[in-house]
A and B are shown apart, each in its own frame.
Chain A
Amino acid sequence: MVQTGSALLRRRSGIVGIVFVAFLLPYQNRGVCGQEASGDESNSSNIQQPLQVPERSVKEKSVDLFQASVLPILAARCYRCHSSQAAEPEAGLLLDSALGLATGGETGRVVVPGHPEESLLIEAILSEDNPMPPDERLSQLEITTLTNWIALGAEDPRGASATVEITDPDYTLARQYWAFRPVEEQVIPPVQNEAWPSNTIDRFVLAKLEQNGLQPAPVASARTLLRRLYFDVTGLPPTPGEVAEFEKDSSDAHYAKVVDRLLDSPRYGERFAQLWLDLVRFAETEGFEYDREMNGIWRYRDYVIQSFNNNKPYNQFLMEQLAGDEMAPNDFEHRIAAGFLRLGAVRRNAGNQKVASSRNEVLTERTDIVGSVVLGMTIGCARCHDHKFDAIPQQDYYRLQAYFAASVEDDVSMQDDAQAKARQKRTAELEREIDELKATIANLDGAAEETARLQIAELEAQIPPPGPTICSITNEFEPEPVTHLLRRGDPNLPGPVVGMQTPGVVTRENSCATNNSTTPRTNLAKELTRPDHPLTARVMVNRIWQHHFGSGIVSTANDFGKNGSGPSHPELLDYLANRFVSSDWNIKTLHREILLSNAYRQSSQSADNFAGTSVDPANRLLWRFSRRRLSGEEIRDAMLSVSGELNLGMAGASILLPVEQQLIDQLYKPTQWEVTANPQEHNRRSVYLMSKRNLRLPFMEVFDQPSAQTSCASRVQSTHARQSLELLNGDISNRLAESFARRLEQECESTHGRVELAYQLIASRFPTDKEAEISRCFIERFGLSEFALAMFNVNAFLYVD
């Protein structure tokens, strides 16, 4: 016997136990209560037994002993740490159900029926070093009782899982929290400076500024404003011609026209899509060790771009992503949209690993992402325990997860049947041959083995590539999907069964769904997009606001809960949410209203910086416009644009740029980076570049592109030397600097002209005399290419004012 008696307690954190009061627990198992039944199906198996007197009597004795004496001991002395009532069951051991007791904990079985001497439970109780329970030893009578019960066969008449009745908290108070209250009609606040507001947004902003003794900044110069607007809406700089035209006429009417033109440009969708792709952690490979490419998932990226360009109503956009396959199973666009639920990293199983844990990871991904993206809530926190800040009990997490219980991967072929069948047939033949070879290979050695491997590789190469495919999802109702609350989020510790419902704090009363819908996610999508949902519209308008101002009205855009920042302008948030819903969730209308506000058109330089920085250093009240650094995607796209190399081709499979061999070496399979053959394609916009989970482009990585592993609501904006090294020495900037220099050379005769053009392209302004002079001297000594590279590195290029 190698195990020692202390094995059970090893994971204890040293809390001194408090004796649980025995009378709180009835000796008998409680019945199944409430609509949420326990997951137990073997409950009645002990009741109807054929009459076999001797056996029955032993068994009966054991059962009686359990009911009369064992259960009270377990309840009084063990449950505190080892039951589903414990916040975190010690050593994973649950003694409050037959299943838990029979399964044991992290160190294995604790009871061997008929053999108390081999039972860890008894060993732990008798241990000299670490007796269980740790606070006070069991009495000799208690020890004898447990020993006898095990000797008699350790009969446990209880159900497979603890029949803990789920009791929901009273949500009434929690629903009073601002984010869960219905969006309210807002009274437009009075302001002193009647001349400033250009629309209602401005009135809300100005009222707050005035309450705080602040003034808005003056309007930005035409050039600054236009450059800001272009990057903001399209992710690209304006041409010098566009700047000149706007400088001639920067009237409100002309500005509004430019806003409309840009929102109608296909470049808008390419730019705004990035916000959504960050949120949904879009990447095209599965991560983990295989990092396998998800076939056709790039169609989802095009779907997002097209949806924004077509101004698809946001409610429809959400419906399609959450339930497109249920709504229109034969419509490609809907199936592509539902690819949203495929986007997390996936751990594939190899060998004899259990599927349960990786399935659980997939469901976790689907649940958490909906919580973050749609609800702006950190609902994922409630996976292992009740939410620590918000009124989301653990059962609410699994009720949301229940909507996804039937969802399984579905790769939809876009080929017609004949094509698909021919391909399948050929694939099946080849795979059979490969399998046969693989079966023999184990018995081969040396040269024979090598030959077999080569044959396999040849056969594998012949497998026809999959035809056009949609990476989507569907429902599978056989076997019937059941969702358990999982203790500690562990699939090995199932608790009660739960039904489908969105979190109680945002659920309309009586909206509780059942477990047997054939369109569970349609139900979910309808519930989330109901016009009076307290979060869906608020969360999205806040994201759009953040896109334009750099920071949201709620600056923690994925956390509207109590631990989040709270709204700086609660009335404005509700005003916008109302407008959004009443305009049929019209995204472009909202962009337009924000872009036309004077709040947006402010300069980044306030007339009174001192007052602003002392009252509101973070500029949450918008006393000026917040300067931002361009994202990695914008920097690259702008370099392509100004150097005249930008390929504006849209849609299609993603582009793999040539990268340093040392990066490819970091892929587990270097063949997973096949550079796109046509070099023209290398100049496509960054949104079309391949996004692999296991290898990010260093250029994007240093400029804070998120990892695509978890939802990113707003990017960190850091400043560090590796960014400078990338722009100074990297291949992308050096190559484009050559092109940029060529363009300057071709378009202007004089050095002075070239410097002026460079500044117009890079910064949408003319150089100052000083800048022009410095630049001219430099070009004369070191040439135009080095100057062009420097232009990609100056702050006037990298920041938007």
Chain B
Amino acid sequence: MNRFNRKSMRRDFLQNSYGGLGALALSTMLPGGSPGYVSSRAAGSQADSPLQFSGPAKSVIFLFMAGGPSHIETFDPKPLLNRLDGQPRPASFGEAKYQFVANDAKLLGSHVTYQRYGESGIPVSSLFPNIAKCIDDIAVVRSCFGDVVVHSAAQYELFSGRTTPGFPSMGSWVTYGLGSLNDALPSYVVLPDPDGALEAGQPMYMNGFLPAAHQPIMLRSGKSPILNLAPPSHVDRTTRRHTIELIAELNRAALTNHDDELEARIDSYELAYKMQTEAPQVFDLSDETAETLELYGMNQPETEDYGRRCLLARRMVEKGVRFTVVVSGGGPGNMQWDAHKDIVENHDRMAGETDRPIAGLLVDLKRRGLLDSTLVLWGGEFGRSPEAQSSKGRDHHNLGFTMWMAGGGIRGGQVVGATDEIGLKAVENPYHFRDIHTTILNQLGIDQDQLTFPHLGRDERLTQIHGKVIREIVG
């Protein structure tokens, strides 16, 4: 792995950023496929550095439950909390700082019931009857924690490991580290919820200081999911194809001698054309069977949208997309998992929209043999408070909550870590976001310390300070 940390090369790349070596250095520093969309010609220069990644996972799908799903209502049963419903929190559990809930708030029992599923017998809440059937593929991490209890900062931390914006997201780091498996498609894709945006906004998904090639593509629902993928409607596509040829011809006519950068730009037009023609095929679901569509819940109005996006995520994985984020929740808080007012109404609805699609995705990946190489991560920027907010809701809560992983070499059918008996704090094997990040990188075959980029005098990395691999769940 020592070839990976080619600090000097990357530094040269930055130093020469105006010197015409940018594209060349960029591709040579990125093993395992050309990064983003740097041209195949430039990428050819890496033939002499055939670094192989040995991780079981090739792709990641992050099922981002935005707004903060309650651990108490999903994967972390708390019978004691039900018994203490309406009472103040016993002092022995310690303190928590919430965004809104005051210290004298009363505990709130849960409306969900839990049942044990699968060979592993892991309890899953009544909100997720379908995901429950996949539980033997899932490793539930009940002891996650983060550093902040407000959406924007917590969302930045979930994606980039920092509570402030401006740092690259995990998706950008992964494409920077692994490059693309398919030049005709972006290697990092975000499928936002059509209901609207999230508090942390675009910077949450962005490349920060990594080169622009590692920006995500935001996929919208509707006719033109990728911005600028198609020419304006009044332009004839055949004509435009000739225009692209004209650009290449004029560029070649002006080339006097071999020139890596100018040739890379010529190639980038070929790639753009390839994307233009091949990427739309991903969105064309006409080759999917009715059974598959149903599997994802696309035959039901409440699951149609998330189901479609989960199915698109599978199609992305098949086409070699490295990192796909499928967002559940957007717009005003209650359209996310942000159940301040009424946990029953909110979580019944949000779980109802996602349970079937997520289970469909896991089943479909598995039967196609893709689950072994696709790491699926589920979770939000935090969990929710054991205390009630305005009698029926729950506040944000960052001291202990649940995320889960499946596939990509993760050993499913187990529970790792624990919160205390009311779900206030992670008390057994607590795992920070940076440990989640470290584990994802590990499954992709990347050592967290070796995936670095120089920025303002530091070799920055996703995990900032050292993260832990969650050893219990990796194969």
Do B201 and A666 have beta carbons less than 8 Å apart?
yes
Q: Is B94 an interface residue (CB 8 A)?
A: yes
CB nearest neighbor in B for A357? B148
Contact in complex: B202, A694 (CB < 8 Å)? yes
In chain B, positions 184-237 with a C-beta closer than 8 Å to chain A are 186, 192, 194, 196-203, 206, 208-209, 211-213, 215, 217-218, 220, 222, 227-232, 235
Judging by beta carbons under 8 Å apart, are B244 and A728 in contact? Answer: yes
Q: Most chain-B Cβ atoms within 10 A of its Cβ — which of A349, A696, A723, A793?
A: A793
Q: Verify if B39 is at the interface (C-beta below 8 Å from A).
A: yes
Residue B215 contacts which of A618, A662, A722, A775 (CB distance < 8 angstroms)? A722
**Distance between Cα atoms of A181 and B200 in the complex (Å):** 44
B290 touches A (CB below 8 Å): no
Q: Is A1 in the interface zone, CB < 8 Å from B?
A: yes
- Residues of B near A7 (CB, < 8 A) are 427
State whether B18 touches A626 (Cβ < 8 A).
Answer: yes
**Is A254 an interface position by the 8 A CB rule?**
no
A722 to B430 Cα, complex, angstroms = 41
A257 sits at the interface (CB 8 A): no
**A352 close to B (CB within 8 Å):** yes
Chain A hits for B212, CB < 8 A: 701-704, 716, 718, 720, 722-723
How distant is the Cα of A770 from the Cα of B251 in the complex, in angstroms?
A: 11
Verify B22–A716 contact, CB threshold 8 A. Answer: yes
Q: Are A665 and B250 neighbours in the complex by a CB distance under 8 Å?
A: no
User: Of A291, A619, A662, A726, which one neighbours B19 at CB under 8 angstroms?
Assistant: A619
Which chain A residues in 1-17 approach chain B with CB under 8 Å? 1-4, 7, 10-11, 13
Min CB–CB distance A604 → chain B (angstroms): 8
B15 touches A551 (CB 8 A): yes
Specify the chain B residue showing the minimal Cβ separation from A559.
Answer: B457
Q: Which size bracket describes the interface of A in this complex?
A: 35 or more
Contact present for A668 and B197 (CB under 8 Å): yes
Q: Is the CB of B272 within 8 A of A724?
A: yes
Which of A723, A774, A782 is within 8 Å of B268, CB to CB?
A: A723
Interface residues of B in 79-96 (CB under 8 A from A): 92-95
Write the nearest CB–CB distance from B202 to chain A, whole angstroms: 6
Provided the pairs A703-B212, A707-B166 are in contact, do residues A668 and B201 lie with their beta carbons within 8 angstroms? Answer: yes
CB-CB under 8 A from A722, the residues of chain B are 36-37, 186, 212-213, 215, 217, 228, 272
Contact of B208 with A728 in the complex, beta carbons under 8 Å: no
Segment from A154-162, A167-175, A401-409, A783-791 that makes contact with B: A783-791
Q: Is the CB of B203 within 8 A of A729?
A: no
**Which residues of B in the span 264-321 have a Cβ within 8 Å of any Cβ on A?**
264-266, 268-269, 271-272, 275-276
B115 → A minimal CB distance (Å): 24
Of B132-140, B150-158, B361-369, the stretch lying at the interface with chain A is B150-158
Residues of A within 8 A of B99 (CB): 350-353
Flag whether B1 is at the interface (Cβ < 8 A). Answer: no
Bound together, the chains give a CA A529 to CA B92 distance in angstroms of 56
Nearest CB in chain A to that of B396: its residue: A351
B164 within 8 A of A: yes
Nearest CB in chain A: distance from B13 CB, A: 8
- Please give, as numbers and ranges, the residues of chain B lying within 8 Å of A345 by CB-CB distance: 164-166
Residues of chain B within 8 A (CB-CB) of A704 are: 211-212
Pick from B215, B232, B254: contact of A795, CB below 8 A: B254
In the assembly, what is the distance between CA of A107 and CA of B94, in Å?
8
Which residues of chain A are within 8 angstroms of B20 by Cβ–Cβ distance? Answer: 626-627
Q: Are A794 and B250 in touch, CB under 8 angstroms?
A: yes
Decide if B201 touches A1 in the complex (CB within 8 Å). no
Known contacts A667-B201, A789-B243; is A724 also within 8 Å of B165 by CB? no
| Contact A725 to B203, CB < 8 A, known contacts A352-B100, A627-B20, A774-B250 | no
Among A604-627, those with CB < 8 Å from B are 617-620, 626-627
Tell me the smallest distance from the CB of B205 to a CB of chain A, in Å. 9
* Distance, CA A289 to CA B246, complexed state (A): 45
**20 A-B pairs (CB sep. < 8 Å):** A11-B430, A289-B199, A353-B150, A372-B456, A378-B456, A555-B15, A618-B15, A665-B192, A666-B192, A666-B197, A704-B211, A712-B209, A718-B22, A718-B211, A719-B38, A721-B275, A768-B253, A771-B254, A782-B239, A790-B246
Which B positions have Cβ atoms within 8 angstroms of A?
11-12, 14-23, 26, 36-39, 42, 92-95, 97-100, 102, 149-153, 164-167, 183, 186, 192, 194, 196-203, 206, 208-209, 211-213, 215, 217-218, 220, 222, 227-232, 235, 239-240, 242-244, 246-247, 249-251, 253-254, 261-262, 264-266, 268-269, 271-272, 275-276, 390, 420-421, 425, 427-430, 455-458, 466
A289-B151, A291-B201, A774-B250 given; name 16 further pairs at CB < 8 Å: A13-B466, A288-B199, A549-B18, A551-B17, A555-B14, A618-B15, A662-B227, A698-B227, A707-B203, A707-B209, A720-B38, A720-B268, A722-B37, A722-B186, A771-B253, A795-B265
